Amino acid sequence: MATKRRTEIIVETERVIIVHPQSASVRSWCGACSTQVEMVTPEQAAAMIQVTPRAVYRWVEAQLLHFIEEPDGRVLICRNSLYGQISESQ
């Protein structure tokens, strides 16, 4: 009853981002470009143009970027449209 227990709670906020060489450059058909383009994840896109992933998702929702939705719900962004977005915001 009188036992004092010290509980240590270690919150690990470790994020492991695994970039597979193959998935790093996914090529897929972009309907808006009418060609095969390189597709990146919103996180990769954000890192590439140095914005937050949030900004990328906002552009996706605003249809400012070309994107495809994978069957598992993941969004992949057309790299061509990403670069178009940088030149417009600068």
Q: By the criterion CB under 5 A, which residues form the site for Zn ion?
A: 30, 32-33, 66, 78, 80-81
Q: Give whichever of 38 and 55 is closer to Zn ion, judged by the CB atom.
A: 38
Q: Closest Cα partner for 83 from 58, 62, 56?
A: 56
Q: Give whichever of 16 and 30 is closer to Zn ion, judged by the CB atom.
A: 30
Contacts of 85 (CB under 8 A, 6+ apart): 49, 59, 64, 65
Question: How far apart are CB 84 and Zn ion at their closest, in Å?
Answer: 9
Question: How far apart are CB 75 and Zn ion at their closest, in Å?
Answer: 13
- For residues 32 and 58, what is the distance between their CA atoms, to the nearest angstrom? 18
